[in-house]
Amino acid sequence: MAEPIDSAPADEAPAGPGELGRTPSDAITGAHVNAPTRGNRRLEALLANVNDDAEVRAWWHLAQIQAERLRMSDHSWVHVQVVLNIALRLERLLVKGGVSPAMVSDHGMRDRDAEVVVAAGALLHDVGMAIHRVDHEAFSLFLAERKLRELLADVYRDPAERTVVVAESLHAIIGHRRRGEPYTVEGGVVRVADALDMAHGRSRLPVEAGQMGIHAISAAAIDGVDISAGEERAVRIEITMNNSAGIFQVDDLLATKLRGTPLEGNVEVVAAVEGESEKRLLSEFRIA
């Protein structure tokens, strides 16, 4: 049975909290991420430390503030949780399918350490949005470097191991940008997981704000994403659409982030429109 991704169904998916105008202390109160840890105590400790850290949760709040200023899709803690769960799902399926993560092949550590790297990358990949949207991936690095050392201090007592985990997590963070070129499975996982937060719930903010460009319309066309073990490859991703406009999300965004990563060749993607007729997403489009 497929392990559920810890996020709401497509028809109930949160669009991200409306955080403009809320006080910081109020906004971060409900920010709390969850993911199945499968007895991975180091992962459990990281998640507990993150949920107890007001600075990280404030960065998530600031990322959402920037997104709302720009009328972008959700970049709040809700997006972080979705990416976290998708990333762990991908990582575990890849390992089960015989793909070795860098923490094992390059550092002689364990699959569970790879899960920590993936989680750390997912949790902090967008914190640089607190500073600016442009080059936010790079800004995320200098915020996350210090914070990861704090969050992992009681998780990895050995300084060398902790240094490796921090560095590989930073690699995953910078690798999620459009031309990030991650060298590791873990980095590729975070990159692809970020692109897979594409169900129409995430597009609700820009669509309701009247932004009817191809990004918003194509996101609204995505009804769901199912991730399971593949028959010929380690991972199979099935994307259900209500309109063929969703192909833009699949080809321009997901395919771009998948190509050139260690995941390429280990993941198959299938996208299809459900039903006999397509949902009408746009009544009229004008160029002023």
Structure tokens at 278: 């397509």
Q: What is the pLDDT of residues 83-95, one digit of tens each?
A: 999 999 999 999 9
Which residues are bridge partners to 268 per DSSP?
Answer: 236
DSSP string, 132-152: -STTHHHHHHHHHHHHHHHHT
Q: What is the pLDDT of residues 166-189, one digit of tens each?
A: 999 999 999 998 788 999 999 999
Q: What is the pLDDT of residues 88-116, one digit of tens each?
A: 999 999 999 999 999 999 999 999 999 99
- Residue 13 clears pLDDT 50, i.e. is over it: no
Which own/partner pairs from 138-147 qualify as long-range (CB within 8 Å, at least 24 positions apart)? 138/174, 138/177, 140/173, 140/174, 141/170, 141/173, 141/174, 143/59, 144/120, 144/169, 144/170, 144/173, 145/170, 147/53, 147/55, 147/56
Backbone angles phi, psi at 136, to 5 degrees: -65, -25
Q: Taking the CA of residue 271 as centre, how many other CA atoms within 13 Å lie in the half-sphere pointing to its CB?
A: 20
Give the model's pLDDT for residue 122: 98
Q: How confident is the model at residue 74 (pLDDT cuts 50, 70, 90)?
A: confident
Give the model's pLDDT for residue 196: 92
| Rounded CA separation 157/137 (Å) | 28
Give the model's pLDDT for residue 149: 98
Q: What is the pLDDT of residues 186-240, one digit of tens each?
A: 999 999 999 998 865 554 455 455 555 677 777 788 888 999 999 999 999 999 9
CATH classification number, 39-273, choose in 1.10.3230, 1.10.3210, 1.10.10, 1.20.1260 = 1.10.3210
Structure tokens at 244: 């063929």
Average pLDDT over residues 128-150: 94
| Rounded CA separation 40/93 (Å) | 16
Q: Tell me the domain boundaries of the chain.
A: 39-273
What rounded mean pLDDT belongs to the chain? Answer: 87
Contacts (Cβ under 8 Å, ≥6 apart) of 90: 189, 192, 193, 227, 235, 263, 267
Give the model's pLDDT for residue 281: 57
Whole-model pTM: value is 0.88
